[in-house]
Amino acid sequence: MAHHKAFSKQRWSVALKAELALCSQLRQKNADLNSLKELLKERYIPLIEPHISNLQEDSQILELGCGPACVCQFIKLGKKTFLDPLLDDFRRAWPGSLPKGTFITEMAENIKAPDASYDCIVCLKTLSYVQNPELILHETERLLKPDGSFIISVELWPSAFAKLHYFTAKFFPQRTLKNRLYCYTKHGLENTLKRHFNIHSSQHLPSTEAFSLKDEWLYICTPLKHP
């Protein structure tokens, strides 16, 4: 999985349309987002906060693929920046629901910010849905301060399923999942992360679905020390 070619922007656009359809369904079920926000806060914040105890009031935090819930708004300290290519759609769907902070409505493959801009970068269940994961990890590596933390969670799959998804996407793209572009295995993801970061720790998160093949893992990463 680590060396797969990135999907085309056209295929990524199809995935975005599928995400918007899911967004519409979510709006019907959760008009004010409160229950979703509370669910994600309880799932992620207790795992994140022990690893960011060094943050100050003026620390810079970037959340990639923040979605409409913007989990990092629940981190107590720091100035928040939220990035998602669908932020304008979230604003229209849930007016007034987004938290205070800086918002970037664009892809994460090329972020217009100086090197070493952020003390903490968070990316939850996003890497499998982007156009080019390698570029995003390269950008994250560039944007993270030398003593910063990169916190990422990814849904990981058995090797047989990941291979099936890869070859189906390559030869029969119309038959693949519309919104998920990549299916990582644990081994593949960790090899990918290690090209950009040191993996400080990892943790398996309990599944939210019965009889699911995928497992969500959360990784705490730190920058590589280049000579």
What is the helix (H) or strand (E) element at residue 156, kind and residue range? strand 144-156
Looking up residue 107, the CATH number of its domain turns out to be: 3.40.50.150
Rounded to whole angstroms, the Cα distance separating 215 from 154 reads 8
Phi, psi torsion values for 19, nearest 5 degrees: -65, -40
Query: CB–CB of 118/144 below 8 Å?
Result: yes
- Whether 185 maps to a domain, the answer reads yes
Contacts of 173 (CB under 8 A, 6+ apart): 11
In a domain, 193, yes or no: yes
Residue 142 lies in a domain: yes
Nearby residues of 181 by Cβ (< 8 Å), 6 or more positions away: 7, 11, 12, 15, 128, 129, 130, 131, 169
pLDDT at 6: 72
- The predicted pLDDT at position 154 comes to 97
Asked if residue 3 belongs to a domain, the reply is no
What pLDDT does 1 receive?
40
DSSP 92-110: HHSTT-S-SSEEE-S-TTS
Tally of domains within the chain: 1
Please report whether residue 133 resides in a domain: yes
* Domain carrying residue 162: 9-50+59-223
Residues of the chain with pLDDT under 70: 1-5, 169-180, 226-227
Number of continuous H segments (helices) and E segments (strands) in the chain = 6, 7
Output the pLDDT for position 172.
Answer: 63
Give the CA-trace dihedral at 25, 27, 30, 36, to 10 degrees: 90
Helix (H, G, I), strand (E, B) or coil at 204: strand
> What gap in Å lies between CA 84 and CA 186, rounded to an integer?
25
User: What percent of the chain is helix, strand and coil (3-state, nearest 5)?
Assistant: 40, 25, 40
**Residues 105-128, buried b or exposed e (16+ Cβ, 10 A)?**
eebbbebeeeeebbbbbbbbbbbb
> What pLDDT does residue 21 have?
81
pTM of the shown model: 0.90
Type of residue at 161: F
Containing H/E element for 186? Answer: helix 186-194
Domain membership flag for residue 134:
yes
